[in-house]
Structure 1
Amino acid sequence: MKNLSNKATRIDLLNFKTPQMKAFHLSWIAFFLCFFGWFGIAPLMAVVREELELTKTQIGNIIISSVAVTIVARLFIGWLLDRIGPRITYTYLLILGAIPVMFIGLSNSYESFLIFRLAIGAIGAAFVVTQYHTSVMFASNIVGTANATSAGWGNLGGGVTQIVMPLLFGLFVSLGYLDVQAWRLAMIIPGILMVVCGVLYYKYTTDLPEGNFKDLKKNETLARESKKASKGAFVTALKDKRVWALFLIYGACFGIELTLNNIAAIYYHDYFNLDLKTAGLIAGLFGLMNLFARSTGGYLGDKAGMKWGLKGRVWILGVVLLLEGVSLLIFSQMTVLFLAIGTMVIFSMFVQMAEGATYSVVPFINKKAIGTVSGIVGAGGNAGAVMAGFLFRSENLSYPDILWILGLIVIAISSTTLVIKFSTSEEKVAAEEMENIEASKGILEPA
Structure 2
Amino acid sequence: MPDVVKDLGLTPDQKWNSIILAVSGTVFARLLIGKLCDKYGPRLCYTWLLMLGAIPVILCGLVQTPTQFLVCRLFIGFIGASFVITQVHTSLMFAPNIVGTANATSAGWGNLGGGANRLGMPLIAAAVVGFGVADADAWRYAMVIAGIVCFIMGIVYYFFTQDTPEGNFKALRASGDMVNTKKDQVGFLTVIKDYRTWILFVVYAACFGIELTVYGTMDDYLQNTFQLERVTAGNIVLSFALMNIFARTLGGFFGDKFGKLKGLRGRVLFLSFILTIQGLMLITFSTTTSIIVGVFFLILFSLSVQMAEGATFSVVPFINKKAIGSVSGIVGAGGNVGAFLAAMLLKSQSAVAEKAAITANQGLGEDVISVAQSAASASAVSNGYFIIGFVVVATAIAALTIKFSDEDEGLANTGLGKTNEDLIPIKVKAN
Pairwise TM-score range, normalised by the shorter structure = 0.7 to 0.9
Matches within 5 A, 1:31-430: 45-220=1-176, 222-225=178-181, 227-232=182-187, 234-268=188-222, 277-394=231-348, 395-397=351-353, 398=377, 399-430=381-412
Q: Which has the larger radius of gyration?
A: 2
For residues 420 and 214 of structure 1, do their structure 2 counterparts lie closer, same or farther at Cα, with a shift above 3 Å needed?
same
The answer to whether the Cα contact below 8 Å between 1:317 and 1:357 also exists between their aligned partners in 2 is yes
Summarize deviations over 1:233-260 as a string: whole Å, max 9, x none.
x111111000000000001111112224
User: In the alignment, is the contact (CA less than 8 A) between 2:96 and 2:413 conserved in 1?
Assistant: no
Letter in 2 for 1:389: A
Q: Cα offset for 1:319? A: 0.8
AA partner of residue 31 (structure 2): L
Kindly indicate whether the alpha-carbon contact (under 8 Å) linking 2:279 and 2:389 is maintained by their aligned counterparts in 1: yes
- Return the alpha-carbon distance in structure 2 between the equivalents of residues 129 and 75 of structure 1: 11
SS of 2:30's equivalent? helix
Change (3 A) 1:90 1:221: closer
CA distance in structure 2 between the aligned counterparts of 1:228 and 1:166, rounded to whole angstroms: 52
- Contact 1:87 1:207 (8 Å CA) reproduced: yes
8 Å contact 2:169–2:178 — kept in the other structure?
Answer: no
Give the count of matched residue pairs.
Answer: 390
Contact 1:321/1:351 (8 A) holds in 2: yes
Could you list the per-position Cα deviations for residues 5-53 of structure 1 after superposition, in whole angstroms to 9, with x for gaps in the alignment? xxxxxxxxxxxxxxxxxxxxxxxxxxxxxxxxxxxxxxxx233344455
Q: Please report the TM-score for the alignment, with normalisation by the length of structure 1.
A: 0.80
| C-alpha deviation, 1:172, in angstroms | 3.8
State the alpha-carbon separation in 2 of the partners of residues 148 and 132 from structure 1.
12
Whole-angstrom CA distance in 2 between matches of 1:95 and 1:286: 30
Higher alpha-carbon deviation: 425-434 or 128-137: 425-434
> Does the C-alpha gap of structure 1 residues 53 and 315 become closer, same or farther in structure 2, counting only changes over 3 Å?
same
Question: 1:311: Cα distance to partner?
Answer: 0.4
Shift in CA distance, 162/335, structure 1 to aligned 2, threshold 3 Å = farther
**Per-residue Cα deviation, 1:318-344 (whole angstroms, up to 9, x for no partner):** 011111111122333445545444433
* Cα distance in 1, alignment partners of residues 103 and 6 from structure 2: 40
Tell me the secondary structure at the aligned position of residue 419 of structure 1.
Answer: coil
Residues 162 and 280, structure 1, Cα contact 8 Å, conserved in 2:
no
The runs of 5 or more residues in structure 1 that have no matched partner are 1-44, 438-447
Q: Aligned-pair distance for 1:376?
A: 0.8
Distance 1:334 1:58 in 2: 33
Partners of 2:286 and 2:8 lie apart in 1 by: 29
Q: TM-score, normalised by structure 2?
A: 0.83
Whole-Å Cα distance in 1 between the matches of residues 15 and 230 of structure 2?
A: 17
> d(CA) in 1 for partners of 2:325 and 2:237?
32
Structure 1 residue 201 displacement after superposition: 0.6
Q: How far is 1:166 from its partner?
A: 2.9
CA deviations on 1:81-102 (whole Å, 9 max, x unpaired) are 0110011100011111112222
1:277 and 1:169 mapped to 2: Cα distance?
A: 17
Question: Conserved in 2, the CA contact under 8 Å of 1:60 and 1:390?
Answer: no
Match of 1:25 in 2: none
Separation (CA, whole Å) in 1 of partners of 2:291 and 2:16: 24
Shift in Å at residue 72 of structure 1? 1.2
Q: Percent identity of the aligned residues?
A: 51
Distance 1:129-1:408 versus aligned 2 partners, 3 A rule: same
**Counterpart contact for 1:56–1:393, Cα < 8 Å:** no
Residue in structure 2 matched with residue 33 of structure 1 by the alignment: none
Could you say if the C-alpha distance between residues 379 and 177 of structure 1 is closer, same or farther in structure 2, counting changes exceeding 3 Å?
same
